[in-house]
Amino acid sequence: MQPAQMYDRAITVFSPDGRLFQVEYAREAVKRGTTTVGLKFADGVVLIVDKRITSNLIEPGSIEKIFKLDDHVGCATSGLVADARVLVDRARVDAQMNRVTYDERIEVETLVKKICDFKQTYTQYGGVRPFGTALLIAGVDSTGVSLFETDPSGALMSYKASSIGAGRASVMEMFESDFRDGLTQDEAIRLGLKALHRATEGKLNAAALEIGVVTKSTPFHKLDADAIKRHVDAAIPEQG
C-alpha cells in the first residue's frame, strides 16, 4: 500500500515525513483554479481574475471571483468558489464586528489573520476537510497598502505582486522581471493583464475578466466592462 493511501484518509493524521495529504490535495484544487493576480501600486492595490468562461452560453456576470469584504479591503479567489464564499461571509462578519466593537475599521493584516486562523482549524479537527481555495486579499489601512496571499493550510504571506491558480508560475516569472515599486494604477493593471495574457497563452477574453481596485482615497470597487475593455486594448493591442 502506498503511503498516500495510508495517511490521506483523515485530516488529523500526519504521514511519517510530516505531511498532511488532505492539505496538499486542497492546494492542488487551487492550482487547478482560475489564474488570479494582485499587484501593489503607488497608492493602492489591484486584483485581476480571468474567470475562464468555458461556454458561450454562460453569462459571465453570474461568475463572481472578486469580493468586497469592507470599504477598504477586498479579495480574489482561486479554487473552489463555494468554499471561498464561506470565507468571504466569515470575513465580512469579522470586519463588521470590529466596527461595532471598536468603532473603527479593521486592520487588513488583522482580518487576514482571522481568516487564516479559521482556515487552520479545518486542518486540525476530524470530520472536516480543508478549504479548497486560496485568497489574494488587498487593502489599505493606517499601516499603508497591503497585499496578502492565503493558503488552504492557513498560512499567509505578504507580497508586492503575486498570483494564485493555474497560471501562477508564468505570471510570477513576468512579475519577477517587470514589476517595480511606484507603479501607477494604470501601469499595475496593464502589467497584470499582460501577465494573464501570457498565462492564458494569448486567449484572454475581456468579457471574462474581473478587476477590483482599492486606493488610499477610494473604497474597494470593481471596474465596469467598458473600463476593463479599455485597459485590455491598451495592454494587449492585438486583443482589441
Q: What does the pLDDT look like over 63-96, one tens digit per residue?
A: 999 999 999 999 999 999 999 999 999 999 999 9
Query: Looking at the domain assignment, is residue 52 inside a domain?
Result: yes
Q: Is residue 9 part of a domain?
A: no
The verdict on pTM exceeding 0.85 is yes
β partners of residue 162: 38
Q: Which of 125, 110, 115 is nearest to 155 (CA)?
A: 115
pLDDT digits (tens, 9 = 90+) for 178-201: 999 999 999 999 999 999 999 988
Which CATH number fits the domain that encloses residue 120? 3.60.20.10
Structural domain of residue 78, as residue ranges?
Answer: 18-235
pLDDT at 5: 63
Domain count, the chain: 1
Burial of 184 (0-12, 13-18, 19+ CB in 10 A): exposed
What mean pLDDT is predicted for residues 129-134? 96
Tell me the sheet residues that pair with 36: 49, 164
Q: In DSSP terms, which residues pair with 77 in a beta bridge?
A: 135
Check residue 74 and give its pLDDT.
98
pLDDT at 1 over 90: no
Report yes or no on 240 lying in a domain.
no
Which helix (H) or strand (E) element contains residue 30?
Answer: helix 21-31
Residue at 2 is within a domain: no
The C-alpha cell at 30 is 487551487
CA distance readout (Å), 186 to 76, 88, 112, 126, 213: 19, 27, 26, 47, 11
Assigned domain for 12 exists: no
Is residue 47 domain-resident? yes
Does 111 fall in a domain?
yes
Locate cell 501600486: which residue? 41
For residue 226, tell me if it sits in a domain. Answer: yes
